[in-house]
Amino acid sequence: MRCPIENGEGEVLLDSVRSASLEDHIRGCAACGEFVAAQMATDGSLELWDAPPVSIDFDRRLYSRIAKEVPWWESLVRPFRPVFARRLVPITAAAGLLIAAGLWLDRPGSMPPPPASAEVQPLPPDQAEHALQDMETIQEFSRLIHADAAEPRL
């Protein structure tokens, strides 16, 4: 294996997971062995540096800043948001259906237009006379039927 340091590829020695061939090389190469030992010592020194704990009021301060950014109307609406979210879909669907039905019924050509005005056609005299005769015949026929029904049957 080529020496990473000699080839200007020393960064591969920083990897915590190394290939078996690289490990073999490090064991046999003084320069690489020295590099790795020095890096381990540096890692150990860096581990001395613990960060201080986070302040206990960190979250309170953050939420206070967030609350200042939320508009007042959103604060009012927020408690009802789950109810709106749950009921909004069926209400919107029902309203949509009603509007669609209204538009469909209201569309032009869906119903036959009413006649402009009711017109009465005058009857010719011969037709009127014929109609009167028909009515008299019907009345005569009706009388005969009634008379027949009144006589006792044998």
Selected binder of another protein within 20, 30, 46, 120 (CB under 8 A): 46
- Tokens representing residue 14 in the block: 């920083």
Query: Half-sphere exposure of residue 50, counting CA atoms within 13 Å on the CB side?
Result: 3
d(CA 136, CA 82): 80
Kindly write out the interface string for residues 5-24 of this chain, putting x where it contacts another protein by CB under 8 A and - elsewhere: -----xx--x----------
Residue 15: half-sphere exposure toward Cβ, Cα within 13 Å: 12
Residue count, binding to another protein (CB under 8 A):
27
What angle is formed at CA 126 by the lines to CA 121 and CA 130, rounded to 5 degrees? 100
- Using CB under 8 A, pick the residue from 45, 117, 121, 139 that binds another protein: 45
What is the pattern of x (binds another protein, CB under 8 A) and - over residues 113-132?
--------------------
Which regions of 28-93 does DSSP assign to beta strands (E)?
A: none
Chain positions 56 to 115 lying near another protein, rule: CB under 8 A, are 58-59, 61-62, 65-66, 69, 81
Residue-level length of the chain: 154
Among 43, 129, 134, 136, binds another protein (CB under 8 A): 43
Which residues bind to another protein, rule: CB under 8 A? 10-11, 14, 38-39, 41-46, 48-55, 58-59, 61-62, 65-66, 69, 81
